[in-house]
Amino acid sequence: MSIITLIGYMGSGKSTVSKKVAKRLNFEALDLDEYIESQENKSINDIFKEKGEIYFRKQERFYLDQILREKKNLVLALGGGTPCYGDNMSLILKYSKSVYLRAHIPTLVSRLSKEQDLRPLIASLDKDQLSEFVAKHLFERRSFYEQSHFTVVIDQKTVEEITEEICLLI
């Protein structure tokens, strides 16, 4: 199996960790959101604003399928919602070794509060709303994330420590 997928809620560090793991393994690193942005020639924010979430989820599925079938020696950082729609998780499990970057809610909220603007689902929430939203959303998504082949808890760990753990697991 030569594709590793990183799964986890927004703010769990999937993109940053994917680059480090790829470097260690001499694999290519790819971020699904960035790939969608380059293919659609629009930011994720603009895709949500101009075409809506359903269009985004359709395109997300299309590019996920394309990448998983075509690429090799790849570390792919998924979007926070990618495993949670349609049968995306089955596809992920079939074509990759998946690692769930698990974080506690306060860790996620503290990270996300510094970069809410980049994420259309949480951009308009105030601090209290953000905590409530993340708790509820994570509860809904957890059952998808937990199907991953491996789980790494990321709270209070450095990117290097997380990378090391992943490289030992896979």
Which one of the spans 62-70, 74-82, 98-106, 126-134 is the region binding ligand S3P (CB under 6 A)?
74-82
Q: Which is nearer to ligand S3P, 80 or 89 (CB)?
A: 80
Q: How many residues bind ligand S3P (CB under 6 A)?
A: 10
The answer to whether 92 and 143 have CB atoms below 8 angstroms apart is: no
The CB density around residue 16, as the number of other CB atoms within 10 Å, is 16
Q: Which of 17, 80, 91, 101 binds ligand S3P (CB under 6 A)?
A: 80
Six token digits for residue 14: 């999937």
- N residues, the chain: 170
Q: Which of 81, 154, 162, 165 binds ligand S3P (CB under 6 A)?
A: 81
- Going across the sheet that includes 28-31, the strands are 28-31, 74-77, 3-7, 97-102, 150-153
Q: Which is nearer to ligand S3P, 137 or 165 (CB)?
A: 137
For ligand S3P, the binding residues (CB under 6 A) are 10, 14, 33, 44, 79-81, 119-121
